[in-house]
Structure 1
Amino acid sequence: MTAQRACALSDLVQDEARRVELDGVAIAVVLDSNGEVHAIGDTCTHGDISLADGFVDGETLECWAHGSAFSLRTGKPLNLPAYEPVPVFAVTIDGDDVLIDPAVTLEAN
């Protein structure tokens, strides 16, 4: 599979998450305060909640329901109650297009 257009870069709001679905994979796309775009799995591993409804703080996305924060770089949970990571996807910017391949996840560091 190849990268697909997830959304327009101009549609992203800094420090907010946006939910997209590509080939049945729910992904939270985030434009962080440094202007970097991240893409992580949109489902909290603790409570099956959309992370895109959560809160962005620096390089983390916090689930609104139970407060688990996930690293936007690695997908690893940074606190309980979540203990399983979410997938992280490579992002490519082409003009105003945010491209993501939902079939390819990055290795956690």
Structure 2
Amino acid sequence: MSTPDEARTAVLCQRGDVPDGEARRFDVDGHRIALARIGEDYYAIGDRCSHQNYSLADGWVWPDECALECPQHSSSFDLRTGKPNCFPATQPVPVYEIRLSGDDVAVVLP
């Protein structure tokens, strides 16, 4: 049995695998994750738009807003909080903690 201090992490990719200003989808242990990169910072949020289940990783990264825009209906989500920035989405998406170790980019899974 794990304790709260023992986080379960999953390596998604290597640091150079996601180009700056882009996002990629990863499926890990039942979690559909959109990993976005802005400069040297990585952000992981749930990949399903809360409005209509479209892949957020297929959308656009907005570095100045630190947001990811859904390609279908243009809702954007704050990469730090998962909260939608505009309609039609009104519900947040999950946010995953990122852990960097060497070249590995990993997420902490609940």
Q: TM-score, normalised by structure 2?
A: 0.89
Write the distance in 2 (CA, Å) between the matches of 1:20 and 1:7: 9
Q: Which residue of 2 aligns with 1:106?
A: none
Match of 1:47 among 52, 55, 63: 52
Q: Which residue of 2 aligns with 1:82?
A: 89
Q: Which residue of 1 aligns with 2:31?
A: 25
**In structure 2, the residue corresponding to 1:3 is in which secondary structure?**
strand
1:86-105 maps to which residues of 2 (within 5 A)?
A: 86-103=93-110
**In structure 1, the residue corresponding to 2:8 is in which secondary structure?**
coil
Write the distance in 1 (CA, Å) between the matches of 2:18 and 2:93: 21
Q: Tell me which stretches of 4 or more aligned residues in structure 1 moved more than 2 Å.
A: none
Write the distance in 2 (CA, Å) between the matches of 1:67 and 1:102: 27
Q: CA RMSD in A?
A: 0.9
Write the distance in 2 (CA, Å) between the matches of 1:24 and 1:7: 17
Shift of 1:19: 0.3
CA-to-aligned-CA distance 1:5-28 (integer Å, 9 cap, x gap) = 111111010010010011010000
**How many residues end up aligned between the 2 structures?**
102
Where in structure 1 are there 5+ consecutive unaligned residues? 104-109
Write the distance in 2 (CA, Å) between the matches of 1:36 and 1:92: 11
Where in structure 2 are there 5+ consecutive unaligned residues? 1-6
Q: Which residue of 2 aligns with 1:37?
A: 42
Q: TM-score, normalised by structure 1?
A: 0.90
Percent identity of paired positions between Structure 1 and Structure 2: 43
Shift of 1:102: 2.4
